[in-house]
Every structure is written in structure tokens, then in C-alpha cells.
Structure 1
Amino acid sequence: MTDLCGVGVGTGAATGRAFWLTRDASDSPDAPDASDTQVTRDTPDASSRSPDAERERFERARSRTVEELRDEQERAAAAVGKAAEDVLATHETFLYDPAFEERVEEAIEADETAERAVASALEDWIEAFEDTGGKTAARADDLRDLRGRLLRAFPGESGRSVRGVPPNAVVLAERLEPSQAVRLAEEGATGVATVSGSRTSHAAILLRSRGVPAVVGVGEALRTVEEGSRVGVDAAAGRVTLAPGDDADADSLARETPGDVRTASGTPLAVTANVGSSREAAVALERGADGVGLFRSEFLALRSDGVPDVDAQTEAYAAALDRFPEGRVAVRTFDFGGDKPLPGTDGTGPRGVAGSLATPDRHRDQLRALCRAAADGAGDLTVVLPHVTRVEEVTAVRDHLDAVTDELAEEGVAYERPDLGVMVETPAAVELAPELADRVASVSLGTNDLARYVLGTTRDADPEATEPAVIRAIERAVAAANDAGVRVRCCGEAAADPDFAAMLVGFGVTETSVAPDAVPAVRRRLDGIDADAAAVVAERAAAASTKSEVDSLLNRES
């Protein structure tokens, strides 16, 4: 095997057949001839060209680009999340930046074509960002993305597609732009490696948010990888491995050897996955997940432009259960609102379980589907209630479940009443954790929202789960669940950090649910862990006064 080194993005690992992502000529206007390829199609010849006509052509191309961006924002929000949507919204804002418009206007007045005006205006900024270095340099890829979109829009071409990527492929590229990262995540790329790029680029951030392991900035050596050859990507190690073994059972670095994860003293631990469909559940199984710790049911609606009917929901939940006949699948009830508005609505109204209780017919339909799926599917089902802030909400859902199961029994429809769990992701839920834990079968920590609510930051901000206030909230919630004798899992992004996951075990968490591609690294870290030593780390973290103290503590344990 040959290893190439780069910068890892995320924590997962995967292997597959190499698939080189090619670039359109229109995406590379560094060479002046790139715009010339469009002269015969849309660009007027020099004798008939005028500034007014070029301005009009620029405006048409800009309008087409904005339309494409807005369409893609909707898909990105469902497939990747708000981070992708925000990146694409930033692209649209830049298109109307006065400084950009002024540069295009100056070039057109100097008798340049609209294409060349766009290319030269953006190229100046690309070079300036790259010369600055650091995080600013990473923004250059965003402008390359925008430049390619605009230049394709002149002849009215549709955007470049990365569809057609073979199943289980590791995608290789010179560099990756945000729109490509969104599409690769949609298509289920196994892993990504690039010649250039940084971990702070928007493309890298989007891949990490979707759980696609990547290694960026590998350098020229990556070009030696031939299309179709087997390649391994280990994001945690920042390593690309060429020809990673010939054993057919080693088709994926991410696939774990079957077996339970246990502490050094033999206590079983579960490493499950966060998914949004039965297809993702299949990927989680391949990565070695013990089950599904968080099935985001609202993704079923976001991907189909509306809430599926009872039959369609039943089928989706049962399919996920069938992936884990010996495991457990925790389905979170619809959590619309905020960055996940129900298609066709303005996104206002209460989030989480409060939103479900405010739409009782839709809520009962979902409970009906879940009860049917619990009987139809092979695994064990838990229904998890998001954004619980009041004990009365749990009581109300129980009443709805009673009504639904009575109806199914009267109709002679096969059903099974699933276990009930709650998400702890608000300060209110932390305060009520003892009372909530007494009424349910499991408690799930949503560290992303918990960190934002505890710290008072916006949803746009990165969750800072190692802030002492957040650590102490986690400690209290886990202690309440343990005192009540119920299962406790952590479903937030923080759990995908193997060392953070180890600290969670020290607090008493028995299940971590992470993005599918983060499963192998977390399994490796937790298997055989000294729970007593982890408890010492957890105690010190809870006693820390600053985030840097917590981070240093975790780094020492890695």
C-alpha cells in the first residue's frame, strides 16, 4: 500500500473505486480561450457587439444564475442542511455586489465581451484571496464556483452535474467547489480527495456536515491515482491509501469487524447513526453502526415537497428497522421550523413536539405509521420527541398514542406500541430532565441545539459543545437519565469526535449516534475504553472554567 498525506476533513474513513471529477472548460477561464469556445453559440462577433448588448447579456446570465442558485438552495437545505443553503445564498448576494458590478461595467465599456468581463472581474478577487492566505484563501473556491455558474449561463446551459458518480466511489478532483460538495453529498459519495483545498473551505465544511470523509490538499501526487483503482480515504488521519489491500472483505476501511463495542470492564456500548432515510440506514449498517440513534423523519417531507401519507411513512420506517433486525432504530418525530420549514409554509410556528401537537391530524398520522412500522419491521423502534420543554408535552403524546393504538386495534391492523423517548436540547429540558426521564424509556442529547441555546448563539453559529456551560448541562441531563435507569444517547455532532465521545462515556452515556462515516472512528476509540479513566476526564471537564481548558483536557487524552 502507498499512503499520500493531506488535511483530513471530518472523522470517518471509506474506500472505493477512484472516480475523477472533471471540470468543464467554461469553469476554467484562466486561459483566455475559454470564453472563445462560446463565440459561435451566443457571443456576438466584434463588428456587431455593443456595450448595451453586452450589458443585457450579462443581466440575462445573472438572472439565470440566481434562478439556479435558488433552486439549489432548496435542495441543499434538505440534503445537506442550512450550512449549504447559506453558502449558496452568499453567492447570490455577491452577484449584486456594487464592486463586482462596477468591474464588469468597466470591462464592458472597454469593449470586452460580457463573458470576459465576468471572468476578469472574478479572477482579480480569486487571486487577491489566495494571496491573503488562511481562511480568506478558502473563499477563492466559492468565487470559482460562482464564475463557472455565470459563464455557463451565457449560452443558457444547465449547471454542471456530478450525477453519474458510481456507487461507493471515492471522488477525486483538482479542487472542490461548494455546489459540487452539495451534489456529491446528495449522490452518496463514499469519500473525497482533492489536489488542492483547505479544511476551512465551504466545500470542506459542507462535506463534514454531511459526514462524507475527505482529505484535501493532497498535492500533485494525487494525480497519479488512476480512474477505477481502489483508494482509501481516512479523514481522521488525513491519509489517502492507494490499493488498500486485496481482501474482498476489506472493500471499505469504514466497515468494521462484527462484534460488540464494550468498555474494558465489559459494559456494552452502542455506536449508532444519524440518518434521514432508509438508504442512509443501509450506509450506516455498512459502516458498522449498531442501529439508528436518530432518524430525522422530517427529511422524508423535505425531500418529497410534502409530508408523505401514512403508507409511505410506514414503509420508510419499516425499511430502516429491517436494516437492523437485532438493533434499535430511534425515529424523531417531525421537527419542522427554523432552518427546516415544511415545504409550502413560511416556516413560522413552534418547533419540535409543540409543532406536532399543534397539528394533531398530521401528528396522529405519523404515530399511526410508526406503530404499524414497529410491527412490520424487524428491529426495535423508539419514538423520540424533539425540543421538549414541558412535561405536559410528553403526557399529550402518550394520549395521542393511546388513541392511535385503540383505533388500530379496532380496525384489526397489526401494530406494536413503540418505546417513547425525549430529546434534551434546551435549558428547559435540562432543568426538567429528572421528571422527563421518569416518564420515558430513553433520553437523547442533541448537543448542537443544546450548545446554541445554552450559549445564546444563533443557529448559524457552529455549536461549541466544549464550552463549560454546555458540558455541565450534559452532565446534569445524563445524571438524571442514569438515576431514572433509562437509556441515554448523544446524537449531536460533538459525539462524532472520538475523544468527546470517550468523555461522554465517562459521564454515563451508553450510546453515541453520529454520521454514518464517523461510526468506525468512534467504535475504535470506545472499544476497550477504561470507563473509570473516562469518568475522571469527564469530572475534570465539568469542573473546568474555560473552553480552552476542556479542549486541552480532551487533546491530552487523544
Structure 2
Amino acid sequence: MRDALAHVAAELSDRGRTAGGEAQEVLEAASLMAQDPALADDVATRIGQGTNGERAVHDAFEQFKTMLIALGGYMAERATDLDDVSQRVVARLRGVAAPGVPESDEPFILIARDLAPADTATLDLERTLALVTQDGGPTSHTAILARSKSITAVVGVVGLLAEVPDGTRVVVDAKSGIVVLDPSDDEVEAARVEARTRAERADAPLTEGALADGTKVPLLANVGRPEDAVKALELGAEGVGLFRTEFLFLDAKEAPSVASQTDSYTRMLQAFEGKKVVVRVLDAGADKPLAFLNDAEEENPALGLRGIRALRASEQILRDQLEALAAADAATNAELWVMAPMIANQEETEYFVALGRELGLKVVGAMAEVPSIAVLADQVMAAADFVSIGTNDLTQYTFAADRMLGTVASFQDPWHPAVLRLVKMLGDAGIEAGKPVGVCGEAAADPALAVVLVGLGVSSLSMSPAAFADVRAELLEVTLEQAQAKAAAALLASTAAGARDAAAAA
């Protein structure tokens, strides 16, 4: 059993290194699950009580999965990954091939209940034309990895798996989120034209993000490690709109030193010399438990001590991080902006900005993920240098719908007017205060929605670099006045689908 766990851990880690980027981050996390000593001890205990190895692995992982789902948020997201690790270990013990995507010599559209990160990250891009899953939402690992690899994907299509036999002709339109079964020849030809247009966009010369009337809309990259910088720049990143610092913390037994953090931040800033780099301080707490920060059990961790709340409760960790960022800023020529996650009001904004200033940071802002920050946008703008909207969590908290649960995936749609109205509150407050408001959630990667966001007052867009070409081309199709007209039409709708249609018609 221990040999099987070690083999699977090494295999996942190797796949991660091969895949690179966001996929590497996800697969390394799965590899760490296979190395979890508590899980191995649980399996060993079950074997000692007379259970065979395969059953012991299945039951121990299933119990751990149930616990993760109960925790919700980030930990619930890991539950699907845990299933994959468990199945790979059992396959190794049985001496059979690990579960995975069926092989095909023909190009195909893959329809599945869900895909493990290891499978999504290593899909054959020459043959996989598109991906459709029955489970998961737009912020599931499957969806995020598909976007990072430029795979056309629609997730959360309930009931589809039972309806589509092998060999069915299907059109998958990720832009509209529509899957067409048995399409007509005209529908197939329209899809082929759209696919060719998209390919031409990807090959177009790299230019700065702008509207048809010349209004600048910088296109920035969401990155998780300094190593991601090269790919982002190749695809035309004008800077970084979200640098997630969690990779330094999540696998650590104790908080990383100021020196080690300074080294990582310096490498990132050096890669983007002369460009803006927005860094989010540690976004952790009860839903991403860290022994040195907060590992207390909570009934509802998504609403618990997380983000800025957790950092205030352990202020020295925050101080060390800000000190390291200031040192990296002083050693490089990038334009460093620093923001805190889960800011809810003016008081929290003033606390973080004051601490950042005290430790030598020049540009300090807030991340908008909690609806209250939009309601109090004018107050927050008075204290912050900028605001960046995390649409994934903002949507989740607006609808009280866990963004990792397929059962409520229909609520996880940033096109909904309830979310768009909150974005407008923040955009209007930014314009009134003369301060920038960006978007760094997955919504920015949707070309049509990107136009609407600009119409709502958003001044920059940050996304997975794979989305740059489509978003850049879409922005060039409209003037600011037209973007504002599309946004106004979307705000008057009553549903997400209605907002999409209204924006398209405007």
C-alpha cells in the first residue's frame, strides 16, 4: 500500500511538471494528498484490522473526502481530486491501468461526469476538440485547467451523459455555454466559421488591450508562481492583475521566512520589469487551513475566519509578507500594487492600507469579493488606492451558493444582473474617486462579458493568459459608448441568460 501511494504521488508530480502552469499547481496538490501521512496511517490501521488493501484505501479516502465536502469552499474543491488519487492507488494495487480518458485515433468531443485534474491537464490537444462535463461549475478545477490549456469546455450540463451515445455529432459553444446535439449542417458550418475566426485571433499580432475608439483597457495575467511569467508575456500580458501568493504557504509546516518570500516576489517582479504587478497577500483561513495561521474547526468555513480576517488574527504573518513585498519592490523596477482578500468595509480597508504604508508599500488596495464592499464602495474608495473585483467569490457570496458544488452551479454565473449591479456600484465609485477598478475573476476571460465589465466602469481586466486573444479581439469591436450601452441593457435583465441576450442585442 505504501509503495502504491508513493508511486501515485510521483506519477502525479511528474505529470504536473510535464503540464506546467496552473496544471502543475493542481497536480502537485493531488500528489501531496497521496503523501498525506494521516491517510496512510488510516489505511494501515484498516489493513491491520483485516481489510484488504484495495478496500482499505477506498474506505479511508472516502472518509477523508466526506470530511472535505463538509468543510466546504477550497477543501470541498479538493474532494474530486481525492477520488482520482484513490482510484489510481487502487489500480496500482490491483496491477491494472489507472482510470483515465479513453484513447481514440479520431478527433473527438469528450463528455464525462467530471474529469480528474490529472486527466484534464494531460488531454491530447491534437485530438480533444472540446470537453463537456455533467458535474462542476465554472470555477471547478476542470473548468480552470481547460481554460488555461485553451480547450473549448462547457461544465455543469446536468443529465447530458445519459443522453449522448458514442458517435453522436455535437457542437460545443463555450462562449454561450450551449451544447447542441445532432446539429444541422448549417449549425456545423457556423461553428467551423467561428472556430476559424478564433484561430485567426490567436495568431493576430500582439497589441495592448483597447476599445475601437482607442480607450485603453490593459489585459493583465492571473498567475500563481513566478515561473508562469514567461508564458504570460509570450501571450501578450501587459502586467499581472493577480499574483496568488498561496503557493509559498499551503504546503508549509510553518510560515515562510521574510527572506524566502522576498526571493520569490523579486523573481516575479523582475520578470515584469516596468509593468504593473498586483499581488494578493495570503488568501487562507478555515477553508484553506494552515497550522500556523488558523486550523480551528468551523461550522461554515466559507463564512469564517478567512482572508483579511485570518491575517488580522495573526498579524505577524501579514507583516512579514508585506515587509518581503516592500523589499522586493525596492530591489526591482516593476510597479508593485498590493491588495488584501475578502475586504468587507472601510474599516478593514483603512487597517490594511495603513499597515502597508507603515511597511513601505506605495500602492495598497482591496479585493472586492464580499457584497458589502460594493454597497459601501464610496467609503472603501476613500481609503484604498484601487479595488480589484474577484468575481468568483463575489458571485458565490451574492447567491449564497458554494462555487464548488455542481448542484448549485446554475447560480455561479457572473452574468447575473445581481452581480453586474454590484460591479457597477464599484465601477461608479472608482470613476467618482478617480481610482482604478479592475476585475481579476474568471469573468474577465469571457470576451462578451469583458465588454460589459468595461461598460460598467472597470478599467483593467486580468485573466488566464490563454484568454487574451479572444478578449483583445472582442474589445476592439466596440467603442466605450457601445460597451456602456451593452452594460445598461444587461443590467435591466432579470436572469443571467437574459443579460447575455440583452448585451448581444444592444
Q: Number of aligned pairs?
A: 407
Whether 2:214 is the aligned partner of 1:266: answer: yes
Whether 2:274 is the aligned partner of 1:326: answer: yes
Question: 2: CA distance between counterparts of 1:321 and 1:464?
Answer: 33
Aligned to 1:508, the other structure's residue is in SS state coil
Alignment of 1:5-20 (within 5 A): none
Q: Are residues 489 and 552 of structure 1, via their aligned partners in 2, closer, same or farther at CA, if it must alter by over 3 Å?
A: same
Question: How many angstroms does 1:308 deviate by?
Answer: 2.2
* Match for residue 94 of structure 2 among 136, 141, 154: 154
Question: How many angstroms does 1:546 deviate by?
Answer: 3.0
Q: Are residues 173 and 541 of structure 1, via their aligned partners in 2, closer, same or farther at CA, if it must alter by over 3 Å?
A: closer
Q: Are residues 381 and 193 of structure 1, via their aligned partners in 2, closer, same or farther at CA, if it must alter by over 3 Å?
A: farther
* Match for residue 495 of structure 2 among 522, 532, 546: 546
Question: 2: CA distance between counterparts of 1:346 and 1:516?
Answer: 36
Question: How many angstroms does 1:281 deviate by?
Answer: 2.8
Question: 1: CA distance between counterparts of 2:288 and 2:394?
Answer: 17
Alignment of 1:128-139 (within 5 A): none
Question: How many angstroms does 1:176 deviate by?
Answer: 9.1
1:53-86 CA-partner distances (Å, limit 9, x unpaired): 9x967x42122345678999999xxxx9657513
Alignment of 1:102-501 (within 5 A): 150-155=90-95, 181-183=116-118, 193-194=127-128, 198-200=132-134, 206-210=141-145, 211-212=147-148, 213-215=150-152, 254=202, 257-304=205-252, 306-342=254-290, 345-346=295-296, 348=298, 350-405=305-360, 417-460=361-404, 461-462=408-409, 463-501=412-450
Question: How many angstroms does 1:330 deviate by?
Answer: 0.5
Question: 2: CA distance between counterparts of 1:173 and 1:546?
Answer: 33
Question: How many angstroms does 1:328 deviate by?
Answer: 0.7
Question: 2: CA distance between counterparts of 1:240 and 1:347?
Answer: 51
In 1, are the aligned partners of 2:112 and 2:132 still within 8 Å (CA)? no
Question: How many angstroms does 1:192 deviate by?
Answer: 7.3
Question: 2: CA distance between counterparts of 1:300 and 1:506?
Answer: 36
Question: How many angstroms does 1:196 deviate by?
Answer: 8.7
Question: 1: CA distance between counterparts of 2:401 and 2:496?
Answer: 15
Aligned to 2:453, the other structure's residue is in SS state helix
Question: 2: CA distance between counterparts of 1:540 and 1:197?
Answer: 31
Aligned partner of 2:144: which letter?
S
Aligned to 1:329, the other structure's residue is in SS state strand
Question: 2: CA distance between counterparts of 1:455 and 1:332?
Answer: 24
Instruction: Report the counterpart of residue 95 of structure 1 in structure 2.
Output: none
Report the identity percentage: 29
1:18-72 CA-partner distances (Å, limit 9, x unpaired): xxxxxxxxxxxxxxxxxxxxxxxxxxxxxxxxxxx9x967x42122345678999
Q: Are residues 240 and 342 of structure 1, via their aligned partners in 2, closer, same or farther at CA, if it must alter by over 3 Å?
A: farther
Aligned to 1:258, the other structure's residue is in SS state coil
In 1, are the aligned partners of 2:487 and 2:503 still within 8 Å (CA)? no
Aligned to 2:383, the other structure's residue is in SS state coil
Question: 2: CA distance between counterparts of 1:278 and 1:252?
Answer: 29
Q: Are residues 352 and 81 of structure 1, via their aligned partners in 2, closer, same or farther at CA, if it must alter by over 3 Å?
A: closer
Question: 2: CA distance between counterparts of 1:442 and 1:283?
Answer: 26
Question: 2: CA distance between counterparts of 1:256 and 1:354?
Answer: 44
Aligned partner of 1:354: which letter?
R
TM-score by length of structure 1 reads 0.62
Q: Are residues 459 and 196 of structure 1, via their aligned partners in 2, closer, same or farther at CA, if it must alter by over 3 Å?
A: closer
Gaps of 5+ in 2: 1-18, 20-46, 102-106, 154-163, 168-172, 180-190, 299-303
Question: 2: CA distance between counterparts of 1:82 and 1:194?
Answer: 29
Question: 2: CA distance between counterparts of 1:158 and 1:60?
Answer: 17
Question: How many angstroms does 1:389 deviate by?
Answer: 1.5
Q: Are residues 296 and 181 of structure 1, via their aligned partners in 2, closer, same or farther at CA, if it must alter by over 3 Å?
A: same
1:233-270 CA-partner distances (Å, limit 9, x unpaired): x97699999xx9xxxxxx99857633222222212111
Question: How many angstroms does 1:146 deviate by?
Answer: 7.2
Question: 2: CA distance between counterparts of 1:161 and 1:304?
Answer: 31
* Match for residue 518 of structure 1 among 449, 467, 470: 467
Q: Are residues 296 and 347 of structure 1, via their aligned partners in 2, closer, same or farther at CA, if it must alter by over 3 Å?
A: farther
In 1, are the aligned partners of 2:81 and 2:116 still within 8 Å (CA)? no
Q: Are residues 358 and 266 of structure 1, via their aligned partners in 2, closer, same or farther at CA, if it must alter by over 3 Å?
A: same
Aligned partner of 1:85: which letter?
R
Q: Are residues 540 and 443 of structure 1, via their aligned partners in 2, closer, same or farther at CA, if it must alter by over 3 Å?
A: same
- Rg larger in structure: 1
Question: How many angstroms does 1:481 deviate by?
Answer: 0.8
Instruction: Report the counterpart of residue 505 of structure 1 in structure 2.
Output: 454
Greater length-normalized contact order (CA 8 Å, ≥ 6 residues apart):
1
Aligned to 1:284, the other structure's residue is in SS state helix
